[in-house]
Chain A
Amino acid sequence: MALLELRGVDAAYGPIQILHGVSLHVDPGEVVAVIGPNGAGKSTTFKVVMGLVTRLGGEIVFDGRSLVGERPHRVLGRGLGYVPQGRVVFTTMTVAENLEIGAYLERDRAKIRVAMDEVFALFPRLAERRRQLAGSMSGGEQQMLAMGRALMMRPRMMMLDEPSLGLSPRFVDELFDTIVALARGGLTVMLVEQNAARALEIADRGYVLELGRNRFEGAGRDLLADAEVRQLYLGGAATA
Chain B
Amino acid sequence: MGDVALDVRDLRKAFGGVHAVDGCSFAVPRGRISGLIGPNGSGKTTTFNLLTGVVRPDAGQVLYGSTDLAGLKPHQIFRLGITRTFQLTRVFREMTVLENMLSVVGLGVPDRAARARAEELLALVNLTTLRGEYGGRLSYGQQKLLEFARALMTDPELILLDEPAAGVNRTLLQHLLDHIHRLQERGKTILIVEHDMSVIMNHCERVFVMDAGVTIAEGLPAEIRRDARVIDAYFGRRRQA
Contact = CB atoms under 8 A, between A and B. Distances in A.
Interface of A: 13-14, 16, 36-39, 43, 85-86, 136-141, 162, 165-174, 194-197, 231-237
Given A86-B140, A169-B197, A170-B234, A196 B170 contact: yes
Interface in B102-156: 126, 130, 133, 137-142, 145
Contacts of B145: 38
Given A166-B195, A168-B195, A169-B197, A85 B40 contact: no
Given A37-B172, A38-B172, A234-B171, A139 B41 contact: yes
Contact of B171 (A37, A167, A173): A37
Q: How large is the interface on B (under 10, 10 to 19, 20 to 34, 35 or more residues)?
A: 35 or more
A235 B171 contact: yes
Interface of B: 18, 38-41, 87-88, 126, 130, 133, 137-142, 145, 163, 165-174, 195-198, 234-236, 238-239
19 contacts: A37-B169, A38-B145, A39-B130, A39-B142, A85-B140, A86-B88, A137-B41, A138-B41, A169-B195, A169-B197, A173-B236, A194-B167, A194-B169, A196-B169, A233-B169, A235-B169, A235-B171, A235-B173, A237-B198
Given A169-B235, A237-B198, A39 B139 contact: yes
Contacts of A231: 171
Contacts of B195: 166-169, 172
A43 B235 contact: no
A153 B145 CA distance: 36
Given A37-B171, A38-B145, A194-B169, A13 B236 contact: no
Contacts of A139: 40-41
A95 to B, nearest CB: 15
A173 B165 CA distance: 18
Q: Which of A16, A136, A174, A195 lies at the interface centre, i.e. has the most chain B CB atoms within 10 A of its CB?
A: A195
Contacts of A236: 171, 174
Nearest to A86: B140
Top 7 A-B pairs, shortest CB-CB distance: A235-B170, A139-B40, A138-B41, A170-B236, A38-B141, A138-B40, A37-B169
Contact of A167 (B40, B173, B239): B40
Contact of B139 (A38, A165, A233): A38
Contacts of A165: 166-167
Contacts of A14: 137
B169 to A, nearest CB: 4
A194 B168 contact: yes
A117 to B, nearest CB: 26
Nearest to A139: B40
Nearest to A174: B236
A196 B169 CA distance: 8
Nearest to B196: A195
B39 A168 contact: yes
Contacts of B173: 235
A194 B139 CA distance: 13
Nearest to A230: B171
A124 to B, nearest CB: 16
A36 B170 CA distance: 9
